[in-house]
Each structure stands twice: as C-alpha cells, then as structure tokens.
Structure 1
Amino acid sequence: TPKIYHSSLPPTPIDPSSVFTHLWGVSPANPGLVGSYPGHLKAYIDAETGTTLTRAQVRDLALRVGWALTSSNDLGARRGEVVMIFSPNSLSWPVVLFGSVAAGLRCTLANSAYTPKELKFQYEDSGARLVFVAEELVHVVFEMFRQLGVPEHEARRRVVVLANGLEWVGGPSATRADAAKGLRTLADLVRAGGKLDHEERFDGDQANETVYLCYSSGVCTTHFNINAAQEILRPPFPKLYPGKDLMLGMLPFYHIYGTSALILLMGLTEYSITIGMVELLHFPILCGIPVVIMPRFDPVKFCAYIDQYMITTILIVPPILLVLASHPAVDNYDMSSLKTLISGAAPLGSGLVDQVTKRLRFRRNRKDDVVISQGISYCDLHLLFVADLVIIGYGLTETSPSTHFLPVSDAVRKVGSIGILLPNLEARLVVDVGAEANEGEPGELWIRGPTVMKGYLNNAAATKDSITPDGWFKTGDIATRDSEGFYYVVDRKKELIKYKALKRHLVAPAELEGLLLNHPDVADAAVIGVYSESRATELPRAYVVHAHPERLKIQADKVAFQQDVLKWTHERVARHKFLRGGVVAIDIIPKSASGKILRRELREKAKVELKR
C-alpha cells in the first residue's frame, strides 16, 4: 500500500475561471475595480521612459487587441489557436499576452535569444500561426518562415510587430527599423476601432484548458487551472502592499520565473507558464502592485531604477546577487527602498547571501533588514532568507511551480528544510517501484494534486515516464520527511554521484557546491561526477571561480589555489565525498539565463581535460 502524505494545511478553494477573468475581471457591483483593486492603480511601468499603464488601461487595451485578433478578416484567430510571443521584456508584453488570452487564444513564449532554427522547432511543435515579434527580431522570424517554406506574402500576414515606439499608449515615439516597415504593428491592432464586450469565458471545467505553452530544454508542459498554483502559495508569500510596494521586472518574461512575476502577482494561467511570466506578469497584479519593466539586466541601470522608482521587491537569479556583492554601481545609488530579493532557478550559497545582505544593510538608513528569498533549484527550488532566517520553498515547472513552503515560525528550528506540503497536494517518497521510504529515509519525491501538469506537449513517452496512471508526478528529486511533516531535498536523482556504486555513498553535488561557496576565496562553484576507469567508479570533481582572479597571475598560483580548496574541503566532509576527481579553477561557471549550472558543458570539458 502506498504511503501517502497529505498537507497539514486546510484545503484552499480554487477560482474556476480563466486567467483573464481572475486578474482583470470586472463586476457591475463594483464598477471601479479591475480584478480586486481600483482600476486607476498602476500596473506596468516602462523603466526607461516612465510610460505607465493602469489596471483599467491594461484591460481596455487587451480587449481591443482581442477584438482585432478575432474580428480581422486577415488575422481571423479562433478560440484555442496558438500565438507566439518572441520579444525581450517590454510594455507591449502584458498587452499582447492578456489580449490573446482575452480572445481565448493560447500563447507560446519563445526565448528572445533563439536562432531561426531554434525558433522553428518551437513554432512547429506548439502549432503556432501568428507571431508577435519585437522590432529588432523581425529578421529572425522571416528567416524562420523561409526555412519552413512559407512564402513571404503569407509570412507577412502572420507577423505583428512590437515596435519600439510607445506613442500608442501616450509614450515617446521611435524611428521604425527598415525590416519592420510596412508590417502590421501592435499599435494597428489597438487602433483597429473595435473592442470585445467581454473576455472569452473559461468557467468550471473549462478553466483547466491550457493557455500557456512554455518551453524549457526543448520540452513543453501543459497545465490545469493555474489559479490553483497561485492560491495555494499566496498565504506564505511575503506581504505586498498596494500603493507602497513596487517590483522590478528584468528577468525574461518568456521564462516561468519571470512570467510568474507577471502571473503570480495576477494569479491565473495554465501549466506551461514559465517563472518569468508567472511571477512578474501575473503575481504582482494579483497583489495589486505595479511592475517596472526592464528589457534585460544591466547592472548600472538595475541600480539606477531601484533608486529612481524606489523598488521594494525584485525577482532575481544568483548571478545578479554576485553583481550586488561586488559591482561599484551599488555604492552610487540609493538602494534603501529594497525590502525583498527573491532568487530562484539555481542554488544560492549562504556565504553569498550574507555578503549581499551585509552590503545592502550598510547602504540602508533604516533599521529593518533586507529579505533575500533564495531559489535553490534542483528543479526550481525556492529559498527565502529573512534577515538571518532562511525560509525555504520548493517546486518545479511541472508543478506550476510550488509544492512546499517553510513557515517563518519554523525557519530556525527546521533550517535546511524545504518546508511542509502546500494545501490541496499529496506526496510520496519512493525508493523503488512498489517500495516506499521509511520516515527519515531518502526517496524520490512524487507529487499529486491540481497543480501537477497534464503532461509534456507532443511527447507521450516523456509524459508516461514522468506521470503514473493514477496521477503521481515523479519529480526526480531525492528527499526525506521527518516525523513532523517537514521535507528535506538531498539532490537531483540524475545528478547524484554514485561513488563505488553504493547507495550509502551517494554524493549530492549541491551539498558540495554549498560548502565550496563558504571558502573565503571561492566566488562560484559547480560539482559534477567523472568516471574513473582505473577505480571503476564515479568521482566528484569541482570547478571553482576565484573571488579575486587577479591573484592567479601564473600557473603556480592556480595550482596552489586548487590544492588549498581540495585540502579545505576534505577537512569538512566524509571520505566518500572527497573531491577525488580533482579541483579545477576556471574563469566562469557556465549557466543558463535563469542561473542553472550547465553541467553537461562541464562534463564535456572534463572529458577533454582528463584525456590529456
């Protein structure tokens, strides 16, 4: 009999409606409200120009775009069809996203750094037809269509340009790029003359229809009603106050971490949401606070905008914390408004957190401390640092995303735990097929509940491997559970290093990385397993970045640094965790845009190095 664990928290009621209705809905009983807040409140602000959209304006513009998409003879989009958004962050993003959702369309969000070949895969796999594209990326889209064999006249019909000018919302104009001239623009849709009377309704069971198709590592997840994902997380999230708090949005909206900021704050999407979209485009709106939009991260502008707009809350990734720890721009601007930093997508060492906290505290005139919320991602694990407390949460894209959260009251007593299971969810810890882990023993964490994805788009095999017939999602993370119901993640199942092939000798890379980041001369670290033919086993191998690279002037300095790190580590771990695969000093740890370590690149690098 499966050992099924239930949440100790009471079930949370879920709003059975669409993303648009949940975030931007209006009621005759409260005509001045959009969602749950006054329509005149700011929703999105363009960081560079200060151009602002209120909640009422976003709803109005979205309904106009929805009308143009569905009523134009040329566009003729129909409920359930897929549109693609291919653009860096901009004020156009929420208008296009929610305009499409209001029209009953599905959105697939493409990485703005994609090549034509990469974009072609997502366009075909998602079944998209129309493409909303940033002005500077038009040439990529037309090359994609050329590779697909789409005639130019037809390609032009499928494109809507997100121009750099903001005159369509009262902002400054900009000269149109040659490649975008003569093409339909978002401004044309807004000015088409019509407007939907109301959004397409998705009530009851229809609220479970997929609305966002987001890709990660070449696969796309499809989800149920994302309202569930937002509502079960809202109670433990740091309190945000309308009229007082502002969030800075520079993480890419095409990523679930960025979208969450767009959506978490707003509260309704479907499973395929990426963090960027969910937490930057939605969640702030759900909480009634505005998002100041940056197209991309720039350290000087990042600090300047915090000062200019008095930003209180920011979603970040670990590389940005490295900037906050050392970049001189931090000393040139007033950062005292900052209250909360929420870091996700990759591991974050306590040493770096302490360094940033101390630097920001030194720059403050207030007595209260900065809250640093950390995301340690074995998949997408979120840790929250509150002053000197560590509050942790856990989740994955496939679980929309959060499944666990550590209450503030238990942050010290249960340090290192990912917390308790969120409402409406069930969990198991599975050792092998048909075998369950005993209390305190490690097992693969399985999750079941309304926030678990439907499956991977167009990939039945991957879905079958990940979700059991009775609805259990296999997270791939190894965890334990104590007698009080608190969970602890050990590492990714696939990333555990099997020293001497013994279960008791499994080595967690994340554990060693966290330790290495406490070394006074280590700025960043990554650990992989390398196979030794002579020893017939995997060995832990560390790649480290020196905190002061200028000190490594000659090869002898590098060798001495590597030996020091090796000796320092071996004094602090059990023998089976020794870095027998070696320590290598490098200039930078390869990471994805969201801050995840690209271990495959390091494994390839190690193969070359070990052949010498």
Structure 2
Amino acid sequence: MRIHTSHFEPMHVPEVSLFTHLFPDVDPFPGDTPAFIDADTGRTVTRQQLREGSMQLGWSMRNNLVKLGGVPLKKGDTVMIFSPNSIAYPIALHGSIAAGLRVTLANSSYTPPELAHQYHDSTAKVIFVHPALLDTVMAMYKHIKVGIKEAKKRIIVMDFGLEEKAPKGLMKMTQLFGKGQLVQEERFDGEHSNETVLLCYSSGTTGKPKGVESTHKNMTAVLRIITPVLSAEHGKDRTLAVLPFYHIYGAVDLLQYPIQQGVPVIVMSKFDPEAFCQNIEKHQITFGLIVPPILVVLTRHPAAEKYNLKSLRLLVSGAAPLGGPLVSAVQSRLRSFGNDTAIVQGYGLTETSPTAHFVPVHDAERKVGYIGKLLANLEARLVVNDGERDAEEGEAGELWLRGPTVMKGYLNNPAATKASITEDGWFKTGDVAIVDKEGYYMIVDRQKELIKYKGFQVPPAELESVLLTHPEIADAGVVGVESVTEATELPRAYVVHAKGLPTNSEKDAFSKHVQEWIGSRVAKHKFLRGGVIIIDAIPKSAAGKILRRELRERAKKEPVVEEGYAFKAKL
C-alpha cells in the first residue's frame, strides 16, 4: 500500500460541539465586530448579536415551539433550512446547532418533489423557510399529503432582517427571540463529537441525492486544517458571500470559517456581476470564495473595469475544476486595471467536509491547474482498478482519502456507505488524480458519472428518470458536455422518440419542446443546457446499464449549442 501523507504539520482537533468551537465562552474578538452584513440594506449582525441570537433561538427551538403552535423538538432531531443567502441564515443554523439539533440545508431552487425527497429522507421535523419560497414548501407538503393545519406546525418563516412582513398564521423566526436563552449550548464532548450535525445532500454516482452525515468533529477538523492555508485575519480581511449557504462549500467557508477568524461576511442573496464588483469596492473585500463561472464573468463583464477591485488580494476557486487558461485570462484582465489578485484552487467533496487539498498562495501561478497539496491530518492513496493496486510514481489513480474530515456515512444508506468507504476508512472520491514530486495533486479524469454544472451536482440518473415520464420518450441517456465559454459542464440528453421522427425539423422541434418541458420539473442547475439530441437507441451493456462513455465520445464530435439558454451570469 502506497500512502501519501500531508506536507503540513499535524494539528490538534478538539472533540467538542461545532458551536462550542466557534463560540467559546470568551470571544477572542470584540463583540461589536460585524459578523454578517446584508449587502443590499447594510443591516449588520455583530458577533455578540450572532451568539446571543443563536442561544435565544436555540432555547425556543427546544422549549417554546409548542406554545407557538409548533411541534416539539428534542436533541438529535433534524430541522431544514430552505432559503437563499440572508443574514437570518447563520442564526437559524447556529441556533439549531446550539439546541443540539441536526440541520439539513436544502437547495433554494428545488421544486416541490425535489424538496420532498430531502425533507422525507432527512426526517426533518421543522423547516426554516424564506418568505419567497413559502409557495414551494406548501406545494411540497401537498405533494407528500400533509394537510395545511399540520404543515403550519412545521414552518418557521425567516422574517429576520427583512423589511416586508411575513404572512399571518405562520410561526415567525423573530417570535423565537427574547423568550429565553440557553445557559449553555448542547455539548458534544469526546466521543459525542462523532454525532451528526450537518446533512448536506450529495448525489453520489447514481440515483437520488443522499444525505451526507457530517459530524461535529468533521467540522472542527476541517476548520482547523484550512486555517494555515487560507490565513484570513481579523481586522484585515473581509469576504463576500455569493456562494449559496446550502452548499457545503458555502456552509463551511462562509458560515463557519469567518466566525472562527473574526472576519466580516458581506451577504449577497444571489450572484450578479454588477453587484459583485460593486460590493468588492464598497466593502473593500480582500478575499473571495468563488466557482469557475464567476471567473468567466471577470474576463468579460464591463463591471470588472467599472469598479475598483484593488482591495481583492485572493480568489479561492472550488466545487468544479479550474483550468490554467481561464486563470491566465482573469489575471491578465485584472492586472490591466492595476490589480494584484492571486487566484488559487482548492479541492474537496461534500463527503470530505469539504476541503482536502489547497494551493498555497505563494504557488498560485507556478501550480496553475493543480488542486494543491493534501491538507494536514489527511492521508491519500491513488488506486488503480478499485483497489487492485496503488499507482506507481507519476501514474494516475483514483484518489482515496482518509482522515478526520471524512463523513460518518450516507444517512440510512449502509449499502452506499459501504461502497464509498472501505473497512479501514478510505473514502473513494471517484476522481482520478496524479501527484508530482512536490506533493501537488492534479485531477485528470473522473470515474463518477456526475455532471458538475457551475459547482452544482447534476446526477444523470435523476434526469433520466424525469425524462422517462414524458409520454413520447421511450428511452433516455444524460451526460455532461463541456462548454469552454462557460467553463463548466452542461447536461445533455440523448432521447429515443417513442414513435420515431422522420424529419430533422420534427426532431429540432421536439428537442426544444423537451428542454422547455423539463424546465418546470427540475431545479435550474439541472436544465438541459447542453441540448436534447434525438437518436435511434441508447447504447447499453448486456446488463442494461447505459454506456455513458459512448455517449460522451459521441458528444465530443457534436457542437455544443446552448440555444435558448443564453448566459445570464447567475448561479
């Protein structure tokens, strides 16, 4: 066995609650330091307000919901947050954690059936929901045949920080403040730190999304090991939150890490190129956590030269592969405006909490295209043929990871857990990598079939199952096709028409119809932006498994026409 270890010094990982780690009894930073600032309104939550608000919310979650017409909650129960980014989000999250609850974070663009799957699978008892998404939640409850009266017991409207009033007849987040306060957060010391705290959802390689059980120790471990490489400092740094909080990347690096470092977070509800650049200037943002499509915007959007971005010392890209040409294009443009911004890449998965590799800033240009060095406390293997042997020096192999950030497992799915984590603790990432003599890793291929659209996971099997509900589709296969202009993969469907279509004009019309049809049935990041191609038969193995490699090879020979999906620079 050829085990690669980290070049970084091992670090102590405290076995405590995530809340205990982030909010020690004596705050090392001044209580009036801004923690989260609404980019649109300027409304600010200070560190003291964040802690006190979380402790008050936590008390109500455990002691006051029934009085307000809600359902009782006990330690270990699960609550869901369904909302775009807002300054209410961190209080809902950390208040729930202080109360000893598990929290599952739902994609704010989910349709009612998609939300229903996560709600049911996670066994969530209560949903924190942004007012704008109430209709989706009510439709979800209707979908799972829960009546309005019962649904109202399980909904908490996130009205905190909003000017508009929440609908009447529903529990409001602001009602949970000022009724009482936890004397101490629920403790998870020692072995109890291995209990689940977060349930983000990952699609794996097949089927519907699975709940990833991230423990208190997983979270404290990743917060410790990213500190030396990200090196944000209180009093010097400010970051801009455009990544969605519900994604593990945003949940850790925007809702947790800045609290640990005393760094203010400027919160944007969604990504908009003009507002992004304007906020960098307005708030003197020093580092940003991004995905490659945002870098695409910086290469072409006029806002990049309209605003002064010189405060920006670092951009950290993750969630999807970042190519050298895109980095060069961004740096060339920024430098033409007098900017000296380093751009680095990190690597991780929901199952690794997430960050496992990182390119140190001093090697930002020398190691463009690499995912970086293995972080402290972690081990890696490059494995050939699913454990047959370990890769020789310079040879590519599937990246396996082991260490304190590897998830506990997939919720209520022992088969999937067993398939992903070996008995001796190695997590199989599904990504094929090489490592150079300096310990820098590069992803060269992906064994997984997942499509990565702008950092979001799109499981082909899920889209195929939706397509097969169309009365005129006899069979379907979905793969990702690369869009160079958008620096991302686009989902493309190959479908077999039930009766056959003799002319090209009929095929074109049906393709456009299917793109529009699926748009009302899946979240936006799952739209078939790579097109719909009508073919005679889906290639399959003797066992009936779709041969996606054949579809991908076919796709390489076909143009990527994004007609009807003009780039709008939104995540």
TM-score (norm 2): 0.76
Q: Which residue of structure 2 aligns with residue 492 of structure 1?
A: 446
> Are 1:369 and 2:343 an aligned pair?
no
Counterpart check, 1:455 vs 2:409: yes
The answer to whether structure 1 residue 201 and structure 2 residue 172 are counterparts is no
1:45 maps to 2:60: no
Deviations 1:317-345 (A, max 9, x none): 22222222222223332222222222222
Structure 1 gap ranges (5+): 28-33, 167-172, 256-273, 374-382, 384-392, 497-508, 532-576, 597-612
By how many angstroms is 1:70 displaced? Answer: 0.7
Q: CA deviation at 1:215?
A: 1.1
Other structure's SS at 1:347 match: coil
Query: Quick check: 1:165–1:175 contact (8 Å CA) kept in 2?
Result: no
Alpha-carbon offset, residue 473 of structure 1: 0.9
Q: Which residues in structure 2 correspond to 1:109-508 (within 5 Å)?
A: 109-163=105-159, 166=162, 173-176=163-166, 180-191=167-178, 193-217=179-203, 218-224=209-215, 225=217, 226-237=219-230, 239-255=231-247, 274-364=248-338, 369-373=340-344, 383=345, 393-408=346-361, 416-432=369-385, 433-494=387-448
Equivalent residue pairs, number: 474
| 1:315 Cα deviation from its structure 2 partner | 1.5
How big is each residue's C-alpha offset from its partner over 1:524-567, in whole Å with a ceiling of 9 and x where there is no partner? Answer: 57599999xxxxxxxxxxxxxxxxxxxxxxxxxxxxxxxxxxxx
Q: Which whole-Å CA distance do the structure 2 matches of 1:223 and 1:204 have between them?
A: 16
Q: Deviations over 1:352-371 (max 9, x none)?
A: 3222223323334xxx6112
Which residue does 2:468 correspond to in 1? none
Contact 2:380 2:399 survives alignment (8 Å)? yes
Amino acid in the other structure paired with 2:72: G
SS of the residue 1:188 aligns to: helix
Where 2:228 maps in the other structure, the secondary structure is coil
After superposition, the Cα gap between the structure-2 partners of 1:335 and 1:160, relative to the gap in structure 1 and judged at 3 Å, is same
Cα contact 1:69–1:75 (8 A) shared by 2: no
TM-score scaled to structure 1, two decimals? 0.71
Write out per-residue CA displacement over residues 431-464 of structure 1, whole angstroms, 9 at most, x where no aligned residue: 1333222222222121111111111112222111
Contact kept? 1:346, 1:594, Cα under 8 Å: no
SS in 1 for 2:226: coil
Q: Give 1:127 deviation, angstroms.
A: 0.5
In structure 2, the CA distance between the partners of 1:160 and 1:349, relative to structure 1 (3 Å rule), is same
Q: What pairs with 1:518-557 in structure 2 (closer than 5 Å)?
A: 524=487
Look up the match of 1:505.
none
Q: In the alignment, is the contact (CA less than 8 A) between 2:319 and 2:348 conserved in 1? A: no
CA distance in 1, matches of 2:553, 2:401: 33
Offset of residue 183 of structure 1: 1.1
- CA–CA separation in structure 1 for the residues paired with 2:394 and 2:564: 33
Distance apart, 1:484 and its partner CA: 4.7
Paired with 2:82 and 2:408, the residues of 1 have a C-alpha distance of 25
Structure 2: any 5+ residue segments left out of the alignment?
A: 204-208, 451-478, 495-551
1:407 shift after superposition: 4.0
2:562 maps to a residue whose letter is: D
What's the % identity of the aligned pairs? Answer: 48
Q: Secondary structure at the match of 1:475?
A: strand
Cα-to-partner distance string for 1:371-425 (whole Å, 9 max, x where unaligned): 223xxxxxxxxx1xxxxxxxxx432221112223344555666665434332222
Which amino acid letter does the alignment assign opposite residue 95 of structure 2?
Answer: G
Cα-to-partner distance string for 1:224-262 (whole Å, 9 max, x where unaligned): 31111121221111x32322321111211001xxxxxxx
Alignment partner of 1:587 is 2:558: no
Question: Aligned with 1:235: secondary structure?
Answer: helix
Change (3 A) 1:214 1:590: farther
How far apart in 2 are the matches of 1:75 and 1:453? 29
Matched, 1:98 2:120: no
C-alpha distance in 2 between matches for 1:530 and 1:414 = 35
- How has the CA–CA distance of structure 1 residues 207 and 466 changed in structure 2, closer, same or farther, with 3 Å as cutoff? same
In the aligned structure 1, how far is the partner of 2:564 from the partner of 2:378?
36
Please give the secondary structure, in 2, of the residue aligned with 1:342: strand
Contact 1:345-1:594 within 8 A present in 2 as well: no
Tell me the CA shift for residue 142 of structure 1. Answer: 1.6
Q: Counterpart in 1 of 2:510?
A: none
Closer, same or farther in 2 for the Cα pair 1:462/1:589, shift >3 Å?
Answer: farther
* Change beyond 3 A, Cα 1:361–1:420: closer
* Cα distance change of structure 1 residues 96 and 589 upon mapping to structure 2, 3 Å threshold: same
